[in-house]
Amino acid sequence: MRTRAIYGCAGAQLLPEERSFFRDAQPWGFILFARNIQDRSQVAALVKALRETVDDPSAPVLIDQEGGRVARLKPPHWKARAPAARFGELHVKAPESAREAVYLNARLIAHDLAEIGVNVDCLPVLDVPVEGADQVIGDRAYSHDPSVVIDLGREAIDGLIEGGVLPVMKHIPGHGRATADSHFKLPRVETPAEELSATDFVTFRSLNSCPLGMTAHVIYTEIDPQRPATTSPKVIRDIIRGEIGFDGLLLSDDLSMNALDGPIGHRAKAALFAGCDIVIHCNGKMDEMKEVAAEAKPLESEPLERAQKALSHLAPPEDFDTAAAEARLAELMNA
Catalytic residue among 200, 253, 254, 277: 253
Radius of gyration of the chain (CA): 19
Nearest to 12 by CA among 118, 63, 109, 39: 39
| Rounded Cα gap, residues 220 and 235, in angstroms | 8
| Rounded Cα gap, residues 202 and 200, in angstroms | 6
183 given a catalytic annotation: yes
Whether 84 contacts 124, CB under 8 Å:
yes
Whether 94 contacts 38, CB under 8 Å:
no
With H, G, I as helix, E, B as strand and everything else as coil, classify residue 186.
coil
Give 125's DSSP letter. Answer: B
* Helix or strand (DSSP H, E) at 168: strand 166-172
Whether 214 contacts 253, CB under 8 Å:
yes
The DSSP code sequence of 70-109 is EESS-TTTS-----HHHHHHHHHH-HHHHHHHHHHHHHHH
247 given a catalytic annotation: no
Active-site positions read 183, 253
